[in-house]
Amino acid sequence: MPSYTAPTRDMQFVLHDVLNISASSIPGYDELDRDFTAAILDEAGKIASEVLSPLNPVGDREGCTLENGVVRTPEGFKAAFETVRQGGWTSLDCDPDYGGQGLPYLISTAVGEMFSASNMAFNMYQGLTHGAYNAIHAHGSDAQKRTYLPKLVSSEWGGTMNLTEPHCGTDLGLIRTKAVPQDDGTYQISGQKIWISAGEHDMVDNIIHLVLAKLPDAPDGVKGISLFIVPKFLVNEDGSLGERNALSCGGLEEKMGIHGNATCVMHYDGATAYLVGEPHKGMRAMFTMMNEARLGVGLQGYAQGEVAYQNALGFALDRLQGRDVTGTQAPDKPADPIIVHPDVRRNLMDQKAFVEGARAFTFWGASMIDAHVRAEDADAEQMISLLTPVIKGFLTDKGFETTVLAQQTLGGSGFTREWGMEQFVRDARITMIYEGTNGIQALDLVGRKLAQNGGKAIMAVFDLMKGYIKDNAGQDAEFDAQFLDPLKAASKDLQAAGTYFMQHGMKAPNNALSGSYDFMHLFGHVCLGLMWARMAKAAKAGVDEGRGDTAFLEAKLATGRHYMSRHLPMTATHLARIRTGADTVMALEPEQFASAAG
């Protein structure tokens, strides 16, 4: 059975040595000193290792069951949920006005990585509840906040997001679910929603569904969508639970992974609903939570990579097979541990270099969300808005890839259920799809975010890169050669791609959109390159000053060099692809695609 150890040392390194958070001016960050964050991370790490990780294969094996409208979660989930709830882990970054602890989002991000890595399907229940909390907190009336938020913060109640219908996922303008106004100011919602994570389950007393629907007078398309609160049980004036609402779970989806999470078909049959915010402005309300939700999915991607890497490493240290080609390492054993073999090592280094870079990138992104939300920093908002599709798309693609690499480390054992590696692959796979497929992320990035405000955000990135390189160059020839030079080259590729889009994408948008996926990856590499340069600099300072754990810091430097020399060169290939524009991508008529058959 796989295990999980919380990477607290690395998280502390990122929080304090790289991001230097306690020196930040973001409100609330001043109390985040090393001891404080260590205490939180250690406690969360214990829950993750001891409570959530052992339940991960259980959830996969058992899945959820639906009987007479009741969804049962896997054995042990409910008890674990109580442990997490009572430990206060569900309310870390929630508003103290509603019972939250008011900690920065950055802290709940670090804890979220641990919970997600150790049991992604389990942690999704809480993730969805947090999404509903966010939506009501941002857009609900005062009365709605008072009614729903305290119980969502305490996780006595759960929450869901209802967007997709059978005929529409990405294109929400096609939604058919109807909301009919009633005389008492409420609405009646009717329609079918699919793929509703945590839509029905047995771990909470009530479930607050947030549902996108159309009013009778709604304009066509996405500008005619409204957002509603539709509770499973109506809530009485005094906060007690009232009658059961006219909604039900009509089925559970059988899927590739995340079996421990109930993916529900939801039927709304004239269910009582309450409008959130203004009529027809539901999509806008959804979009305000999007940065956080998408960053959360990017996190899920690399978190599965992290736990897969840990278990691949354990196997590589234990499994004896073959001999080190440069000389036997374990003469007293029938063979050497496979970690002696260069290709096993290459594989592990690739995993490690990605996961650590992704963690730093994500934490940096979370700190921008804090800067925006807590300090109303418009520059931070602009930056994180641009980076969000990169975090979501790049980190989930590479996170999935990392689980596949880790599975490969185990050879045949990786393919068996028993060793648990294949679950990481199957679970990670959804992160590339939900919360907007990665193709949609690329479209959002190139089709919307790049050009927003006259391209101010991407210009800010170019300035940031240039500024970083300028500020850090010329102090250490080795650092320059190993980190700054490759970063400079990669940044140039990013800029050249932007120039290509400007020159060829304005008149013929397909030239830009055909390169959108490559641009997302190119951008992701540049961001990880920047994070690795920053981490290397921090590690080098630690080594030079004799601070911290030298073996750890030197591993950091070597892993950074691995990323810079072996992964960052991918930017050149992405640029080459981008520069071919729509030429070959759009060359075929639809019917020519199938011409090989028949």
The residues that are catalytic are: 435
Q: Which is nearer to a copy of itself, 140 or 260 (CB)?
A: 260
With contacts defined by CB under 8 A, name the span among 28-36, 84-92, 285-293, 400-408 that binds a copy of itself: 400-408
Footprint of a copy of itself on 91-150 (CB under 8 A): none
Among 287, 277, 285, residue whose Cα is nearest residue 452: 287
SS3 state at 193: strand
Least Å from the CB of residue 89 to a copy of itself = 20
322 binds a copy of itself per the rule CB under 8 A: yes
With contacts defined by CB under 8 A, name the span among 65-73, 86-94, 416-424, 490-498 that binds a copy of itself: 416-424
Q: From residue 349 to residue 368, what is the string marking binding to a copy of itself with x (rule CB under 8 A)?
A: x--x---x------------
CA distance 466 to 548: 30
For 101-181, strand residue ranges (E) read: 157-162, 178-181
Least Å from the CB of residue 215 to a copy of itself = 19
Q: Given candidates 239, 342, 467, 474, which one binds a copy of itself under the rule CB under 8 A?
A: 342
- The alpha carbon of 422 is separated from its chain's Cα centroid by a whole number of angstroms, namely 20
Tokens standing for residue 545: 């000053």
Q: Which is nearer to a copy of itself, 29 or 517 (CB)?
A: 517
To the nearest 10°, report the CA torsion of 18, 20, 26, 31.
130
Helices 290-318/342-375 angle, 10° precision: 160
Q: From residue 434 to residue 463, what is the string marking binding to a copy of itself with x (rule CB under 8 A)?
A: x--xxx--xx---x----------------
CA distance 227 to 274: 8
Helices 105-118/290-318 angle, 10° precision: 40
CA distance 154 to 222: 33
With contacts defined by CB under 8 A, name the span among 223-231, 241-249, 365-373, 572-580 that binds a copy of itself: 572-580
505 binds a copy of itself per the rule CB under 8 A: no
320 binds a copy of itself per the rule CB under 8 A: yes
CA distance 53 to 4: 6
Q: Given candidates 169, 181, 270, 455, which one binds a copy of itself under the rule CB under 8 A?
A: 169
Q: Which is nearer to a copy of itself, 367 or 431 (CB)?
A: 431
9 binds a copy of itself per the rule CB under 8 A: yes
Q: Given candidates 146, 223, 244, 346, which one binds a copy of itself under the rule CB under 8 A?
A: 346
Render 34-71 in DSSP notation, one character per residue.
HHHHHHHHHHHHHIIIIIIHHHHHHHHHH--EEETTEE
Cβ count near 514 (within 10 Å): 22
Footprint of a copy of itself on 204-263 (CB under 8 A): 253-257
Q: Given candidates 170, 288, 328, 503, which one binds a copy of itself under the rule CB under 8 A?
A: 170
Residue with tokens 């993750």: 48
Render 81-112 in DSSP notation, one character per residue.
HHHHHHTTTTSTTS-GGGT-----HHHHHHHH
Q: Which is nearer to a copy of itself, 188 or 396 (CB)?
A: 396
Q: Which amino acid is at 553?
A: L
313 binds a copy of itself per the rule CB under 8 A: yes
Q: Which is nearer to a copy of itself, 109 or 559 (CB)?
A: 559
Tokens standing for residue 511: 């030239």
For 104-172, strand residue ranges (E) read: 157-162
326 binds a copy of itself per the rule CB under 8 A: yes
572 binds a copy of itself per the rule CB under 8 A: yes
586 binds a copy of itself per the rule CB under 8 A: yes
8 binds a copy of itself per the rule CB under 8 A: yes
With contacts defined by CB under 8 A, name the span among 20-28, 101-109, 203-211, 421-429 that binds a copy of itself: 421-429
Q: Which is nearer to a copy of itself, 28 or 389 (CB)?
A: 389
Footprint of a copy of itself on 457-496 (CB under 8 A): none
Q: Which amino acid is at 318?
A: D
Q: Which is nearer to a copy of itself, 7 or 140 (CB)?
A: 7
Find residue 252's DSSP bridge partners: 264
